[in-house]
Amino acid sequence: MNHDEISDLLGAYALDAVDPDEHAAVDTHLRECARCRAEVQDHRETAALLTPSSGDAPEHLWQRIAGSLEASPPGPRLAPVEGGTLERPRRVARAMVAALAAAAVIVAVLGVQVREQDQRIDQLQSALQDPLGPAFQAALTDPRSQVFELASDDGQLTLRGVIAADGTGYLAAAALPRLSRDRTYQLWGATGDQLISLGVLGPHPDIVTFPADPYTAFAVTEEDRAGVVASTNAPVVVGSTT
């Protein structure tokens, strides 16, 4: 199907009113075409208005939902991320340990900058466009928070992060160069000699949150779309909180 044929289907697609083969064809097209994605989203927002918002949610149904959650094991995860998959802790690749060790040096050099909290508020204006912006800003201005910076090898690219008193980490990642859709950034936390995937960030992350405890060093790598269990790529940016 060409673009026009796909376009004709978008209304029906948004209402789940297409056959499975058409659904698959539209799905494929949407991965490539931002304009059609936006149109589908528009149709879905419109369709959502056809459902009354005033109806009460049945209480017994909430009891049933809540009851079914008790079996779910809480663990660290990243949210919200695009297509994020959470990896179990793995042994760190040696190349990454070396990279993080090197990073500690860079961070030491940049350390003075990192501790100058006051100067960085105005640099966060772009970050405030994000729905997470206010939470990020609140964490940043809380004296109990720990502020850190991730930097590239050449020091040209720096990302600011903060770990709130409750252990939630925020990273303003908008400065990362936009990747193609088949690539993704992935966030890692280091503790001892272990490097643990904290989440797949997508090709163009803005502000992300992650469970920061107990990590003291972080790195971002570029990977294939689904992310990897253990990275062998050199980090795009690295840094630590100490």
Partner 1 sequence: MREDDLTQASDAQLVVAIGRWRQDALAEAYRRHGGAVFALACRVLTDRLLAEEVAQDVFVRLWHEPGRFDPQRGSLRSFLLAHAHNRAVDIVRSEEARRGRERRQHQERVRVSAGEDVEGDVWDLTVAEHVRDALGLLPPGERQAIEMAYFGGKTYRQVAASLGEPEGTVKSRIRSGLRRLRDNLADLVWEDSREP
Nearer to partner 1, 9 or 150 (CB): 9
Cα 93 to Cα 230: distance, rounded to the nearest angstrom: 7
Beta-ladder partners of 65: none
Q: Which residue's structure tokens are 């948004």? A: 14
∠ CA 32-4-10, nearest 5°, is 70
Cα 40 to Cα 42: distance, rounded to the nearest angstrom: 5
Residues within window 141-200 making contact with partner 1, judged by CB under 8 A: 168, 199
User: Considering CB under 8 A, how many residues would be counted as binding partner 1?
Assistant: 57
Q: Is 4 in the site for partner 1 (CB under 8 A)?
A: no
Its sign, for the CA torsion 131, 142, 153, 85, is negative
- How far from 76 is each of 36, 46, 168, 182, CA to CA, in Å? 35, 35, 10, 25
Among 27, 28, 31, 83, binds partner 1 (CB under 8 A): 83
Question: Among 82-90, 114-122, 150-158, 188-196, which window interacts with partner 1 (CB under 8 A)?
Answer: 82-90
Nearer to partner 1, 130 or 153 (CB): 130
**String marking each residue 30-69 x if it binds partner 1 according to CB under 8 A:** -------x---xxxxxxxxxxxxxxxxxx--xx-xxx-xx
∠ CA 104-126-202, nearest 5°, is 65
Q: Is 81 in the site for partner 1 (CB under 8 A)?
A: yes
∠ CA 107-113-116, nearest 5°, is 130
Question: Among 8-16, 102-110, 176-184, 225-233, which window interacts with partner 1 (CB under 8 A)?
Answer: 8-16
Among 2, 74, 143, 156, binds partner 1 (CB under 8 A): 74
- Contact footprint for partner 1 (CB under 8 A): 8-12, 14-19, 37, 41-58, 61-62, 64-66, 68-69, 72, 74-75, 77-84, 131-132, 134-135, 168, 199, 206, 209, 211
